[in-house]
Amino acid sequence: MSSNLASPTKSPDEDGRGQGVLAAQEISRLLAERRITTEISVDADQVQPASLDLRLGASAYRIRASFLPGPGTSVARRLSEFEMHRIDLGPGAVLEKNCVYLVPLMEALDLPPDLSAVANAKSSTGRLDLLTRLITDQGTEFDRIPAGYSGPLYAEISPRSFSVLVRPGMRLNQIRFRRGQVLLDDAALRELNASQGLVDGLVDGPAHIAGGLGFSVDLRPSGGTLVGYRAKPHTGLIDLGRIGHYPASDFWEEVHSESGRIILDPGAFYILVSREAVHVPPDYAAEMAPYLAMVGEFRVHYAGFFDPGFGHAQAGGTGSRGVLEVRCHEAPFALDHGQIVGRLIYERMSERPEKLYGADLGSNYQGQGLKLSKHFRA
């Protein structure tokens, strides 16, 4: 892969600032300017190369249904319609499987009119099948914050496979700030791939670029027959503060295949891995998006930010595979080796981050293959 990094095309705004995803140093400026506010000072490692980790507040509300507040209405006003009881997170509290909770976050926003934002679950959150989505006042979509938004932030949390123990300050989701048009269309993505080599040679033929860089599933590993893990239906509690603590066999069944095919069971949750090892150059970020619904009765990837430097040589990477969080829906579905199941959408950075994912940060998933969340023993 070439070491000559192409800089993204930036269209400066009237004040001279580049369009794109804001880098860590720009997020720090937002904090200094009180565009991101919090009563408890932000921890230094909350600021990631292209995103900010968000922290749970002091309490949670068990609600009877997921909801969006809608135009002209605050989350707090709608909460009275759905609240069942309030939970103090201070001593640690259990969020039970198949229940829905609303948690006010420590951070709030006062964005300028040229900045919008998007949120997503962190990698470890998604790998636990812990559905976490951001809600704002007057919101009509999850995880989308309009330009100029001023107000509080809330996390809706619904554990799907495992009950979890949480405390204030834990980080389940993250937010990325955008100025202007940031997404690469297919033509720009092909050009970037030609100059940077976004996919390592684990697959034959050219990169699949259509609505993003296609991800396919690996069901024929180079060694052995282990292709993934399936969440067990009746397990113990996971304390999200315990890292490298739990034996995987208590929570997961191994999934093996000799034929290059597995059958997904309705309602089951799987951890699989992509065939492709991808690179995110330092001037770009990426987001994993589900593939089109008509390809099958399943959903792939609940967590999806790929920071600048993910899998890239300048950040100590040699390509990193994408871990796929897969949930099957109404009918059993046969998944075959090499089937495209997701897309990686590349975004321009407004400037290169001062630190990159991987070597600069000691990141958990640089150079990853098939890997469970950091809570389980290696």
pLDDT in tens, 5-46: 344 444 444 444 589 999 999 999 999 999 999 989 999 899
Are residues 274 and 209 part of one domain?
A: yes
Whether the per-residue pLDDT at 362 is higher than 90: the answer is no
**Is residue 367 a contact partner of residue 320, using CB atoms and an 8 Å limit?**
yes
Which of 362, 356, 349, 363 has its CA nearest to residue 26? 349
Last residue of a domain, one of 153, 179, 205: 179
Q: Are residues 124 and 205 in the same domain?
A: no
Q: Which residues 6+ apart lie within 8 Å of 371 measured at CB?
A: 273, 323, 365
Instruction: Tell me whether residue 10 is in a domain.
Output: no
pLDDT exceeding 90 applies to what percent of the chain? Answer: 65
Whether 142 and 283 share a structural domain: no
Does one domain contain both 88 and 222? Answer: no
Q: Which residue has the tokens 């809608």?
A: 70
Domain boundary among 179, 208, 225: 179
Residue 360 in any domain: the answer is: no
Examine residue 96 and state whether it is found in any structural domain, yes or no.
yes
pLDDT, tens only, 292-304? 554 555 676 655 7
> Do both 271 and 173 map to the same domain?
no
Range of the domain at 318: 186-348
pLDDT band per the 50, 70, 90 thresholds, residue 164 = very high
Strand partners, 145: 117
In a domain, 125, yes or no: yes
* 135, 162, 179 - which closes a domain: 179
For residue 131, tell me if it sits in a domain: yes
The half-sphere exposure of 55 on its side-chain side, counting CA atoms within 13 A, is 21
Are residues 151 and 196 both part of a single domain? no
Output the domain CATH number for residue 207: 2.70.40.10
List pLDDT tens digits, range 56-91: 999 999 999 999 999 999 999 999 999 999 999 999
**Dihedral of CA 119/300/367/8: which sign?**
negative
Q: Is 315 helix (H, G, I), strand (E, B) or coil?
A: helix
Report, as an integer, the average pLDDT of 149-173: 97
Residues 222, 302 share a domain: yes
- The predicted-structure confidence for 93-140, as pLDDT tens digits, reads as follows 999 999 999 999 999 999 999 999 999 999 899 999 999 999 999 999
- Residue 148 included in any domain: yes
- List pLDDT tens digits, range 260-316: 999 999 989 999 998 888 889 999 999 887 655 545 556 766 557 888 988 765 544
Domain count of the fold of the chain: 2
Per-position DSSP letters for 195-248, written without gaps between them: HH--B-TTSSSS--BSSSEEEEB--S-SSSSEEEEEE-SS---EETT-SS-B-G
Distance separating alpha carbons of residues 196 and 4, to the nearest angstrom: 8
- What rounded mean pLDDT belongs to the chain? 87
| Cβ atoms of residues 217 and 338 within 8 Å | yes
